[in-house]
Amino acid sequence: MRILVTGGAGFIGSHLVEFLLSEGHSVHVVVDLSTGRAENIAAFRDHPAFSFDQADIVTWDGLWTAARTADQIYHLAAVVGVRRVLDDPIRVLATNIAGTERLLRAVAAGARRPRMMMASTSEVYGFNANASQSEADQLTYKAGNWARWSYAVSCVFSTWLGHASAAITAWCCQASSNERCAACR
């Protein structure tokens, strides 16, 4: 199976890539290395089923071809990190939302319909005083510190872009298995 992993050089992405390669899949990683690390994927560089492009999915010309040839897509690419979120919330919003939209449009433009998983974060629950979180919880963001919530909002919006895209199968990573979460059903 041909699998595209955006953001595949981060902690989660690199472990996913390792697993997918061990299962015999062909894996194409696209990452700009702004938060991921080249050393996280260095061990795979010579693997015959591994390919890598250091690129920003918002501007990379190869995204359309990569999306059209994939059987599965794991979309993990995002601007993350508290310092980045607070220092440059506009970049967080623009990159996370535009990157997801561009990927979804690339998939929709192709004849293939790859299965797609879009990563999210517990940050989407916002200010939540509950000890545990549930998909049924209200999303609450405190007024007055919009920069603090830019990452969460970009993830919520990206998830809704996935829901709105009728051309692909997208499911929320909040689900504990390949089944769709309550919001996706």
H-run or E-run covering 2:
strand 2-6
3-class DSSP state for residue 181? coil
Angle among Cα 92, 96, 98 to the nearest 5 degrees reads: 115
Phi, psi of 117 (to 5 degrees): -120, 125
- Residue 36 CA to residue 41 CA, distance in Å, equals 9
Buried b (16+ CB within 10 A) or exposed e, 58-86: bebeebbebbeebebbbbbbbbbeeebbe
**Other beta carbons less than 10 A from residue 2's beta carbon:** 17
- Residue 9 CA to residue 165 CA, distance in Å, equals 26
Residues labelled as active-site residues: 151
